[in-house]
Structure 1
Amino acid sequence: MEVQCHPHRYRSILRGSDSPAIHDNIPLEKLYDQLRAGVFLNNRTVKYSVENESKKNCFMLHARYFIIQRSDEPSCWKWVIEEDPSSDVVVLNVRWLDARCKFEVSILSPKTTYEVVFLIKLTPSASGWEDPVHFGVTLPDGTKQERKVNLKEKPKGEWIEIKAGEVSTSECKEGQMELFMFEHSDHWKSGLVFKGALIRPTN
């Protein structure tokens, strides 16, 4: 694993921090404990952290960071807070499942392969998942990676990691990639808890 001398663009990333205690005057050595534990950005919709040994950037994009169709309608979705201080979202009853967001590739560590992993959970009473759900990533050059996952085969009541794709910062150095999760059939669906998506280095 390639070791960085310091986290890539960490100062500019931390300008979006929700904590007033983090500012440009703090030496990097004093910031490391906070960076390893994770720092919330953009009104607690993103959590930025740094790997201990490699110093590579990691990001957790929480559900509120995504544009989720009809997520403001209480009859379709319900926002809940579990053990993590960020909010999860539960689908109560929908036919059209669609969650998307865009993320800037240039703040990922250079010369690194990242995987994009969605975090979901099915409640014990989840139903309507007869058709596969699409998970994927569209890279800045338009290349699309997509997986179809049958959630009926997944265990209920526990968090599930679903890999949607990868991005190499040796090849993609700037621009926005889009993360997406959707299922557009006419079946009524319920019982899906969506926490968000991890963008984490694999090398």
Structure 2
Amino acid sequence: MEVQCHPHRYRSILRGSDSPAIHGDIPLEKLYDQLCAGVFLNNRTEKYSVDKESQKNCFMMYARGFTIACSDKRSCWKWVTEEDESSNGVLVEMAELLKKRRLDALGKFEVSNLSRDTTYKVVFVIKLTQSGYGWEDPVNFGVTFPDGTKEERKVNLKEKPKGEWIEIKAGEVSTSECKEGQMEVFMFERGGHWKSGLVFKGVLIRPDN
């Protein structure tokens, strides 16, 4: 296979790979198909892949790598292990909200791992169960950039379909303007209603094609 260019910082990113077999100095030509399929990082809390068409870096941040308020309380959250269809059925952990008034989830990502001169979409991947309730108030989804500025939007989950994975755009990041530092992605709702039935898979960071 002819590889037109080297994916941005791929060797540095692969140092966090869960597979010892690709930690070494392996030629890119031998790694490329695996990079396109996706490589799990940091105990399956992230997945790194390369878009075959654009050869841009893509990432999935799984729920287990987020700070989720009260996720250690069994009365509030349940950690479920399910097959990730985008990863050939590999098992990953997802967080299911059982009962809680306040929803708070925060994740951090190093912007320098994104490909240069590219606009990325930041997208939450969630599912609402059929028995879910309490979503009368809109949920805030957003991104805080390394310079402290924010992009944020409110989404009414009551209008979303139940029982299937849906994508909620939190914002966009342009690596022409934002080249390094940590950005934060967040989801919260702090109203007074008891809430249940949201399954949080993670956040996709992918080129806006």
Q: After superposition, where does 1:1-203 map in structure 2 within 5 Å?
A: 5-84=5-84, 85-203=91-209
Gaps of 5+ in 2: 85-90
Q: SS at 2:13's partner residue?
A: helix
When normalised by structure 2's length, the TM-score is: 0.94
CA distance 1:92–1:52, shift in 2 (3 Å) = same
Question: Structure 1 CA distance, aligned partners of 2:12 and 2:205?
Answer: 18
Deviation at 1:4, TM superposition (A): 6.5
* AA matched with 1:153: E
CA distance in 1, matches of 2:108, 2:94: 19
Counterpart contact for 1:4–1:54, Cα < 8 Å: no
182-191 or 4-13, larger mean C-alpha shift: 4-13
- Identity across matched positions, percent: 78
Task: Tell me how far 1:149 sits from its aligned partner.
Answer: 0.4
Question: What SS does the aligned partner of 1:81 have?
Answer: strand
Q: Secondary structure at the match of 1:29?
A: helix
Please report the RMSD computed on the Cα atoms of aligned residues, expressed in angstroms. 1.1
Alignment gaps of 5+ in structure 1: none
Given that 1:78 and 1:92 are in contact with CA atoms closer than 8 Å, whether structure 2 keeps it comes out as yes
Q: Distance in 2 between matches of 1:137 and 1:25?
A: 35
| Cα distance in 2, alignment partners of residues 82 and 25 from structure 1 | 33
Distance 1:191 1:101 in 2: 21
Q: What's the CA shift string for 1:15-39, capped at 9, x where partnerless?
A: 0001011023211001011101100
Q: Which amino acid aligns with 1:188?
A: W
Segments of 4+ in structure 1 off by > 6 A?
Answer: none
